[in-house]
Amino acid sequence: MLHLSTEAIILQTTDFAEWDRIVSVYTKDFGKIRGIAKGAKRSRKRFGNALEPFTHNEIFFVEKETQGLVRFERCHIINMFTEMAHNLRKVIYGSYFLELVNTMTPEREKNSEIFSLLLFFLNLLKEDGFREDLMRIFELRLFSLLGYQPQFLSCTTCGHEFRVEERYRFSVKRGGIVCSKCLNKHPNLLPLSNGTIRIFQQAQNLTLLKIKRIFFSPSANEEGKMIFGKFLEYHVGRRPKSLDLLDQLR
Ligand SMILES: [Zn+2]
């Protein structure tokens, strides 16, 4: 039996049996793990509010074997992100971040960059003036960290580098742009302008700290939303629930 601790962000908490809760967390040192918090449903003595989604904790847990649920022992809250609770839009944006990480990451595969990305964007959400186009950057960066980096630098069919004089579309199946000469080889291509492609190229390259310098035009945001929505459905196998909530907000 191993006693372990790490920083973690609570992704999802569900009631389990009479007294317990099952909690999914993304950790800095172990990737996504799921565990049981014994007695957490009945009494708040041990965990308090620490198991609420979004909460950034130091968690202490026991691992019996390398598969299955761990047992959460206690948590030390680092940040609750309570500022967000008063703003429905921000709660839904944040829920979307949590849902994507929860559904797209494999269990127990360490990726500290995904942890940092999630924490960085939850902190961005706390700030005034969070813009919807920042969601596109989160999507793009998460895809890349998961190994699905969409290709915007060259045509995914003939390999020719992106040129401003050329026209492109996006292929979900190929995972990137397709130039006008290769259009006929692929069905179901999505439209996107060269301006949007260039914003995506920048968004893939900049360090996180500089990410707020990128501004999407409304049309680039719409194109990105359509493309990444389809790209997500293709890789996850279904549309994320929080995307429907986001649409209802608009
Ligand atoms: Zn081509």
Q: How far, in Å, CA of 86 to CA of 82, rounded? A: 8
Q: Quote the domain boundaries for residue 195.
A: 131-250
Does residue 124 lie within any of the structural domains? no
Beta strand spans in 28-118 (E): 31-37, 56-63, 70-79
> What is the DSSP secondary-structure string of 180-235?
TTTGGG-SS-EE--HHHHHHHHHHHHS-GGGGGG----HHHHHHHHHHHHHHHHHH
- Work out the pLDDT band at 67, boundaries 50, 70, 90: low
Residue 72 pLDDT more than 70?
A: yes
Ligand 1 centroid to 92 CA: how many Å?
A: 38
Ligand 1 centroid to 190 CA: how many Å?
A: 15
Does residue 65 lie within any of the structural domains? no
CATH code (residue 221):
1.20.1440.120
Question: What integer pLDDT is reported at residue 200 of this predicted model?
Answer: 95
* Residues by chain with Cβ below 5 Å of ion ligand 1: 155, 157-158, 179, 182
Ligand 1 centroid to 229 CA: how many Å?
A: 23
Segment 131-139 mean pLDDT: 93
Q: Could you say which DSSP state residue 166 is in? A: S
Any idea which residue has 């890349």 for tokens?
Answer: 144
Three-point CA angle 10, 18, 91, nearest 5° = 30
Ligand 1 centroid to 224 CA: how many Å?
A: 21
Does residue 57 lie within any of the structural domains? no
Ligand 1 centroid to 158 CA: how many Å?
A: 4
- Work out the pLDDT band at 249, boundaries 50, 70, 90: confident
Per-residue pLDDT tens digits for 87-98: 899 999 999 999
> What residues have CB less than 8 Å from 101, skipping those under 6 apart?
11, 26, 32, 114, 118, 142
